[in-house]
Amino acid sequence: MTQQPEILHYAVSVVGKDRPGIVAAITEGLFNLGCNIADSSCTMLGGEFAMILIVSLKRPFSKSRLIEELKPVCDRIGMSLGVRTLHPDEVARQETDGEICMISVYGADQPGIVYRVTRELAARNINITDLNTKLVGTAEEPVYILMLEVALPDGESPEGVEKTLAALKKELNVEIGVRVITPVAF
């Protein structure tokens, strides 16, 4: 019986000034190494571009080789690189059994919006699976937008989350909406 080669997983993070071609350059380097991209997230934050990727490779391979190959690419495009080896228990897909919801928060920009909302969610054992913020509007009237994707634990409902956040909605003078994301079956 032939033994399957062990699969190694790495978290690769790249951060730097935004410009066209960053994703293409990094993914070309990963492709040339034979990496498979399992999960990824990329975004622009105040003129900076940030991406994190979970990549896998068959052994034999090393973290130092991954860095050795990607560092010149990052240097050429002005990006910083971070690579972390993931242990097998860190790469298991963590699908949620609970309902998935989107929570949107809109209102006048003020300190503490993210903290106050996420503190309430944490107190109810609600796991945040994605979070994005953006400042829009004008310098005179900035509007803060917070979007969260959350996984509800057993016994928690979207209506319960909305009730939990109702007092905070009034206190912060923001709009808060909670809606269920219906999964699509293929």
The pLDDT score that the predictor gives to residue 83 is 96
73-105 pLDDT per residue, tens: 999 999 999 999 998 878 766 666 678 999 999
Q: Which residue has the tokens 């905070």?
A: 168
The pLDDT score that the predictor gives to residue 127 is 93
The pLDDT score that the predictor gives to residue 149 is 93
Beta bridge partners of 108: 143
- Terminal alpha carbon distance of the chain: 34
The pLDDT score that the predictor gives to residue 6 is 84
Q: Where are the domains of the chain?
A: 7-91, 100-180
Distances (CA, A) of 146 to 7, 43, 66, 125: 37, 14, 35, 19
Nearest CA among 6, 3, 4, 8 for reference residue 87: 8
Regions of the chain with pLDDT less than 50: none
Taking the C-alpha atoms of residue 71 and residue 26, their distance in angstroms, rounded to an integer, is 10
pTM: 0.73
Residues 6+ apart with CB under 8 A from 130: 41, 147, 148, 149
The pLDDT score that the predictor gives to residue 98 is 75
The pLDDT score that the predictor gives to residue 96 is 62
Name the DSSP class of 172: H
The pLDDT score that the predictor gives to residue 185 is 61
Taking the C-alpha atoms of residue 160 and residue 150, their distance in angstroms, rounded to an integer, is 13
Taking the C-alpha atoms of residue 70 and residue 54, their distance in angstroms, rounded to an integer, is 14
132-153 pLDDT per residue, tens: 999 898 889 889 999 999 999 9
And the tokens for 92? 């298991």
Say if residue 154 is exposed, middle or buried (CB neighbours under 10 Å; 0-12, 13-18, 19+): exposed
User: Is-contact 56 8, C-beta < 8 A?
Assistant: yes
Q: Do domains 7-91 and 100-180 have the same CATH topology?
A: yes
Name the DSSP class of 122: H
Taking the C-alpha atoms of residue 165 and residue 116, their distance in angstroms, rounded to an integer, is 10
Under CATH, which number does the domain 100-180 receive? Answer: 3.30.70.260
Under CATH, which number does the domain 7-91 receive? Answer: 3.30.70.260
